[in-house]
A and B are shown apart, each in its own frame.
Chain A
Amino acid sequence: MTDYDQARWSREDDPVYESLLAEKRSTTVEVEGGPLPDDLTRESVTLPDPAEPELARHYTRLSEMNYGVESGPYPLGSCTMKYNPAFSEDVAADPNGLVHPDRPDDTIQGILELAYGLQRDLARIGGMDAVTLQPPAGAAGEFTGISIAQAYHEARGEDRSEVIVPASAHGTNFASAVMAGYDVVELPSADDGRLDLDALEAAVGDETAALMLTNPNTLGLFEREVTAAADLVHDAGGLLYYDGANLNALLGRARPGDMGFDVMHYNVHKTFGTPHGGGGPGAGPVGVVDDLAPYLPTPHVRETESGTYETYEPERSIGKVHGFAGNWLVLVKTYAYVARLGEEGLRDASAKAVLNANYLAEQIDFEVPYRPFHHEFAATAGDRDAADVAKRMLDYGVHPPTTKWPELVPEAMLTEPTEIESRETLDDLARAFNAAAADSDEELEAAPTRTAARRIDQASAARNPRLSWQALDDE
């Protein structure tokens, strides 16, 4: 087992870890005598004022008190924490690509060619006819896709009020549908953890705008009845939405478009190896079938007859979901990843991701109630508290899985090792699971002890919110 201690900076006489920038050196500058009359300006501004060596040391220490994919295994279920290829950062930083979004099309043919190429590649991967790159995250993709479905129904003179979402879906599905103005109809799972076709049949009707599905679902199970579900929804005049969070399981083996989905989003920061950046930026391109293409956000990129590229507003566009063209820098990295792997690499990524999940599940002492899973599995901590098990795993030098979700599995530990881990690392991960399983409740509750901070009091953080250094000063 890995012997691990995270870096921790602290001083005996001060009950903090690394001091805040503002605590190290802060300066107040009077704003006066400048180019503007006083009544338009503030009086002063107080901000941290580190010299560059201090700045470098501050953030280097903070980085040492952080854990990334390059630190060790990161099997967060549903998050697909892959290695982020180093070269894609260089490509995104190419000065030739750092242009303003209001430049005329004929001066940014390079940007538009990359955008067009990525639209095309993503469409092929998803079995879709057209793809917009504008949504800046997966949830933004959901909102975009549901808005497209809404505009499609409205154009046909239909006012539908409901979106159907399985209980096991990502929380964003519910929130995105509500944001678009829909009522959510929650669908209970069948006993085998999959979609309940009878329940779906009962729920579908004239009010159904769309069914949102993740496939494989959040238990890693393939929805075998997906085409029957598609028929039910389509027969009622509804559309089928694919949540792309779990696409890493299917690359080159199955495509949402072939399963009957009409609209989908891709999480490029999951499936296509762009960095998660501590919570973003990601990107959530949306693919659609031909019938929905006129509703895509503006601007969209197309190739002209003369082989150049141009932006245009689709005929019935839903408008915009981002001020400009989305998280472009992330999209450049996506292009690089897809080009590097190609079809064979993408297929292999899925194969190894599914193999890794299955191998890891065989090695751990926790039960996995729902099978056959693909790229991720939901183990149960049984009579242990999954959150405590996770905290203890931190002490064994690995990042723990997603805990207590999906709710279908009691004390769930949703585990997704991805294709990047070797057998040896998976064995290490398994030892961390198993060591935590063997530890006493007291040891679990006392964990973690080897991370930068010990167990953090969540309740008091929420009861007494202190959200800035100014709030700390007020105490």
Chain B
Amino acid sequence: MTGSPYAPHTEAETRAMLDAVGVDDEEALFDIPDAVAFDGDLDIPARDERAVREEMAATLERNDDVVEFLGRGHHDHYVPAAVEDLAGRSEFLTSYTQYQPEVTQGFLQALFEYQSMLVELTGLSVANCSMYDAATALGEAALLADRVRDADGDRVLVPEHLQSGRRATLERYVAGADLAVEAYPMDDGCADLDALESAVGEDVVMIYAENPTVRGVIEERPAAVGDLAHDADALFCLGSDPVALALLREPAAVGADVVVGEADALGLPVSYGTGLGLFACREAYLRQIPGRLVGASTDAADRRAFTLTLQTREQHIRKERATSNICTNQAWVALRTAMHVAALGPDGLVELAERCVREAAGLAERLDAVSGIEAPVHDRHHFREFVLGSDRPAPALADDLLAEGFAVHAIDEHRLQACVTETNADRVEDLVAAVEVVA
């Protein structure tokens, strides 16, 4: 093998092209000073396609075969074959951002439909066509809050129970704006409203809550959190996902100004954290929203057509005054998520959401009956997942379960967390049997 397998040039063509350009060889086209030219060896051998596939398959086989009861911000739902098949069409997969809308109507319409689905699910009037993941969407929400709030402030309040990656990413995002992230306490898994009330002040720019929380708890009084935010002239940002949103009260109805979340709960299988950041907000913030927006317009034939719009917010036009640095986003994942929502339809989506409640309650009840286990720890309604207490140290118990072939989270010394959806519900019996052995 001597060259790129994806460059079609024959030697004769290369020669003819070099002649047309007027140089003897390709090296003559490079204007690289000797002082910085690389003449070493990268030590990366080329392999043929079959060899690469076999090598990578063999490497991935070194992952243990484990039944996952894991959630905490990355969830598994069954992705219909039609989604995989249609999203894989190369006109979608191999296209670029729609800077020439006339020739990319298909993707633009699909993204417009994605935005519309999120508008329906959140009740808010604007959704962008993607951020990287929930964590970066949360970071962007805090920066939006900082931009739109009239009065100065420098505090962002977040729940004590928050996925660590989400918290760390938020802190990194807001460091440049000199905002400080503070946790407010939880009361049996829900926001502690009294504590939150005493934490809120004029210097708070945003309060964040999740529904469901990272522990799977359904927040009982999200509107009260929103009221506390609005009393302080702070933004109320709510975290959720498209499955939960099909069942829970619309964020707009509980006062949310911004909704963020992991929209890839639909559309992608578990994929070591590959995400899709949901971002929706009230219309008032339209000119300050980060990320790309697809809008409807008309074309020269007077027909409805779609285009990227309000681009003067974006980095390629506004540079240092852009609302965000985001350029490449998660468009193809958004396409998949929209396809998955459409494949389920409203009946299928609500049914799936209700199943997330029932399966979690069912598993908790089964585990609670095991000696040495208390489940759920929080006396609340749950979605997909819940925290369980164990008499034995939780890390040791999780290790023993792993030896039996099951993965659950150990979240502290005496608490574990388990997540159940339609993809692992058929292994609940086996999990309970294993817990009975090791608890």
Contacts and interface: CB of A to CB of B under 8 A. Distances in A.
A207 interface: no
Interface in B44-86: 44-49, 52-53, 55-57, 59-64, 66, 68, 70, 72-74, 76, 80, 82, 85-86
B100 A399 contact: yes
A312 interface: no
B383 to A, nearest CB: 9
Contact of A42 (B92, B96, B247, B315): B247
Interface centre among B36, B253, B349 (most CB of A within 10 A): B36
Contacts of B293: 465, 467
A358 B98 CA distance: 27
A97 to B, nearest CB: 4
B44 A279 contact: no
Contact of A276 (B62, B96, B269): B96
B105 interface: yes
Given A49-B347, A124-B43, A56 B169 contact: no
B106 interface: yes
B2 interface: yes
Contact of B95 (A68, A96, A343, A423): A68
A346 B73 CA distance: 37
A46 B321 CA distance: 38
B102 A175 contact: no
A1 interface: no
Interface stretch (B129-137, B152-160, B370-378): B129-137
Contact of B324 (A20, A175, A273): A175
Contacts of A346: 4, 42, 44
A356 B73 CA distance: 45
Nearest to B301: A454
B274 A327 contact: yes
Contact of A456 (B20, B41, B298): B298
B70 A100 contact: yes
Nearest to B348: A49
B405 to A, nearest CB: 10
A304 interface: no
B274 A328 contact: yes
A277 B104 CA distance: 12
A390 B304 CA distance: 22
A68 B93 contact: yes
A253 B30 contact: yes
A57 to B, nearest CB: 10
B149 interface: no
Interface stretch (A82-90, A286-294, A431-439): A82-90
Contacts of A37: 381
Interface size class of A (residues with CB under 8 A): 35 or more
Contacts of A327: 132, 274-275, 330
Interface string A59-90: 11111111111110010100101111101011
A472 B344 CA distance: 24
B103 A67 contact: yes
A59 B130 contact: no
Contact of A60 (B86, B178, B248, B328): B86
A419 B169 contact: no
A19 B20 CA distance: 49
B8 A467 contact: no
Contacts of B268: 329
A121 B43 CA distance: 8
B188 to A, nearest CB: 15
A69 B96 CA distance: 9
A80 B275 CA distance: 24
Contact of A140 (B117, B126, B132): B132
Contact of B56 (A34, A91, A462): A91
Interface stretch (B224-232, B353-361, B431-439): B353-361
Contacts of B49: 85, 87, 340
Contacts, number: 666
B299 A40 contact: no
Nearest to A352: B7
Interface in A96-139: 96-104, 106-111, 113-114, 121, 124-125, 127, 136-139
Given A63-B86, A324-B74, A94 B310 contact: no
Contact of A31 (B107, B166, B247, B273): B247
Nearest to A257: B38
Contacts of A320: 135, 165, 168-169, 172
A380 interface: no
A242 B342 CA distance: 42
B299 A175 contact: no
A41 interface: yes
B29 A6 contact: no
Interface in B6-33: 6-9, 13-14, 16-18, 20-21, 23, 26-27, 29-33
B248 A465 contact: no
Nearest to B325: A175
A258 interface: yes
Given A66-B91, A101-B272, A374 B30 contact: yes
A140 to B, nearest CB: 7
A420 B56 contact: no
Interface centre among A142, A329, A420 (most CB of B within 10 A): A329
A324 B275 CA distance: 9
Nearest to B95: A68
Interface string B299-334: 111111111011110111111111011111111110
Contacts of B107: 62, 66, 278-279
Interface stretch (B108-116, B198-206, B386-394): B108-116
Interface centre among A29, A281, A332, A465 (most CB of B within 10 A): A281
Given A55-B86, A62-B105, A276-B95, 9 more contacts: A35-B361, A36-B218, A63-B91, A178-B320, A278-B92, A345-B1, A394-B103, A399-B100, A468-B116
18 contacts: A17-B305, A28-B346, A111-B272, A140-B325, A172-B325, A178-B325, A253-B30, A254-B36, A279-B129, A281-B274, A282-B328, A319-B171, A322-B135, A328-B271, A352-B3, A456-B305, A468-B112, A470-B125
